[in-house]
Structure 1
Amino acid sequence: MSILPENKSHTPHNTPRNFFIWGATMSGKSYLASQFPDSIVFSTDGNEKNSGTRPTVALKNYINAKGEITTSVIDVLDKYILALRTEQNTFKTVVIDVIEDVTVLLEQAICAENGVKTLSDIPYGKGYSLFNSMLAELVMNLKALPMNVIYISREDTKTENEQPVPVPALKQKYYNVVNGNCDLVIRTQHLGHSYLRTVTDIRRKYKQSEIDDPQILKILMAIPGALVKDAPVNNKDGNN
């Protein structure tokens, strides 16, 4: 029997599933993520019991009395991603809160395993190569889940034309890896009594009629620039 797919057209699944949410402290990043359906949160804040109402897993490197890592963040992520993939569950969304902390934890784990203080101490650039491979593998493993995936990042600034410009706190080279596998990038802001959400990057133009998940549709309809209006349908007389 051939393993090739049947040679016929099919209707593509156009609902965005991978999101990058960034913003300043207390700007509503985690709150927006909490609006997504049936989430499990992988948290780096060390306060997972009080970080929200959703089930939360602590992301950290577990260290013994000798200062040795006994269970790395790599092991934790591998274990839970495998469980989400292979065990029966009702989760629909994975939230990484926050992604730049995860990159620091990955660096710490690699350095500890190789007995060095920084990635550059590992000869021939192998430290950076190993880190890049692990980050790419994490992003691809999350993307392969039949779920929504949300990466949360704090806000930082960079200087352009001698003016400060807000950007995600995740380093640009790492942001490129994560964003390259995301459908929508959303910035949150807290201005006065208002909480604003704006799209800062988008993979394609998403139409309201294409979104097959009611909860995702409700979220996107409240974010300017996330959706485009469907083209009007002509009636039989040729009028709109």
Structure 2
Amino acid sequence: MSLLNEIQTEKKILPRRILIYGTHGVGKSTFGAMAPNPIFIQTEEGLGDIDCHKFPLAEEYAQVTNAIGALSMEDHSYQSVVLDSADWLERLIWAEVCKDKQVNSIEDIGYAKGYAFALDYWRQVLEGLDVLRKHRGMHVILIAHAQIEKFQNPETEPYDRYSPRLHKHASAVVQEWCDEILFASYKVHTKQSDAGFNQKRTQGIGTGERTIRTVERPAHVAKNRLNLPDEMPLNWNEYAQFLPQPKTKGVIK
């Protein structure tokens, strides 16, 4: 059979792979809890005030992969899986690398190879989550905290920007894997006032409004494949309005 006969033309609609990161307490976990019928795989404490279904706190890497395996193999009605959080999962991965290589710290592995070894564990997790997405029809939401990194832009002078709090190698793998990377933050305005002696004072003013940024800008990492607005309310229902819907077949009379 000719390979040309296997060319596909229709869009394949799959659940989303989302990384949402931001400052502490902004509402990332609440965003995940608003997804359709979610189950949390928790690697850090912090869900006590959120009414949700969750696996026991994972203190070892194997507990995370076992939870993914259970969702893959056993009967359930969950439609979304939320891993909270990716940066605390990274600590479990580093501990697993240290155990395998019989060292006390991942830094004890020369030439920064420990972080390269860690990528194998990251890929195992992402492959397991892809099984849930493709074969169990589940949205995948990764939650991470934010860090400020120095970005070496070859076209400009280096500048600071927000990014997920992951090692740069792991962050690159996770960001490439995700469909959307959303930066969650509080909306802040600036106001200038006269400080005297021809000096201006800039003051940050916050309204408490929580938003997600969906497009990369110099101040933050972000991306989306849904043609989302650059900025949206931090609310799953607002985001869900842009999710592709399966085509419904017309009724022939």
8 Å Cα contact 2:41/2:55 also seen in 1: yes
CA gap of 1:159–1:179, structure 2 versus 1, over 3 A, is: closer
Structure possessing the higher relative contact order (Cα contacts under 8 Å, 6 or more residues apart): 1
Of 99, 108, 131, the residue aligned with 2:86 is: 99
Residue in 1 that maps onto 2:62: 75
- Distance, in Å, in 1 between the alignment partners of 2:80 and 2:49 is 16
For the residue of structure 1 that corresponds to 2:11, the secondary structure is coil
Letter in 2 for 1:172: K
**Contact 2:83–2:142 (CA<8 Å) still a contact in 1?**
yes
Per-residue deviation, 1:117: 1.0
1:156 aligns with 2:152: no
Normalising by structure 1, what TM-score?
A: 0.71
Structure 1 residues without counterparts, runs of 5 or longer: 62-72, 208-214, 229-240
Give the CA deviation at 1:96.
1.0
Offset at residue 129 of structure 1 (A)? 4.2
For residues 240 and 213 of structure 2, what CA distance do their matches in structure 1 show?
10
1:115-194 correspondence to structure 2 within 5 Å? 115-122=102-109, 127-145=114-132, 146=136, 147-160=138-151, 161=157, 163-191=159-187, 192-194=207-209
Match of 2:212 in 1: 197
After superposing the two structures, state which structure 1 stretch, 39-48 or 198-207, moved more: 198-207
CA distance in 1, matches of 2:168, 2:117: 18
CA contact 1:18–1:150 (8 Å) conserved in 2: yes
What secondary structure is seen at the aligned counterpart in 1 of 2:24?
Answer: coil
Deviation string 1:46-102 (CA, Å, 9 cap, x unpaired) is 355x152111124443xxxxxxxxxxx222122111111111101111111110111
Displacement of 1:206 after TM fit? 5.0
In structure 1, how many angstroms separate the alpha carbons of the residues matched to 2:112 and 2:214? 36
3-state SS in 2 of match to 1:36: coil
Give the alignment's Cα RMSD to 1 decimal. Answer: 3.2
C-alpha spacing 1:83/1:142, structure 2 compared with 1 (3 Å)? same
Percent identity over the alignment is: 21
Distance 1:15 1:83, change over 3 A: closer
Between the two proteins, the alignment pairs up a number of residues equal to: 203
Task: Give the residue type in structure 2 aligned to 1:56.
Answer: K
Q: Which residue of 2 aligns with 1:34?
A: 33
After superposition, the Cα gap between the structure-2 partners of 1:42 and 1:51, relative to the gap in structure 1 and judged at 3 Å, is: farther
Aligned counterpart in structure 2 of residue 53 of structure 1, from 51, 54, 60: 51
SS of equivalent to 2:129? helix
Using the alignment, how far apart are the partners of 1:85 and 1:137 within structure 2?
14
In 2, Cα distance between equivalents of 1:194 and 1:88: 39
> What letter corresponds to residue 196 of structure 1 in structure 2?
T
- Matched residue SS, 2:104: coil
CA distance in 2, matches of 1:124, 1:167: 24
TM-score where L is the length of structure 2: 0.68
| Contact persistence 1:35–1:219 (CA under 8 A) | no
CA distance in 2, matches of 1:128, 1:170: 11
Contact 1:155 1:168 survives alignment (8 Å): yes
Summarize the Cα distance change of 1:220–1:172 in structure 2 as closer, same or farther, 3 Å threshold: farther
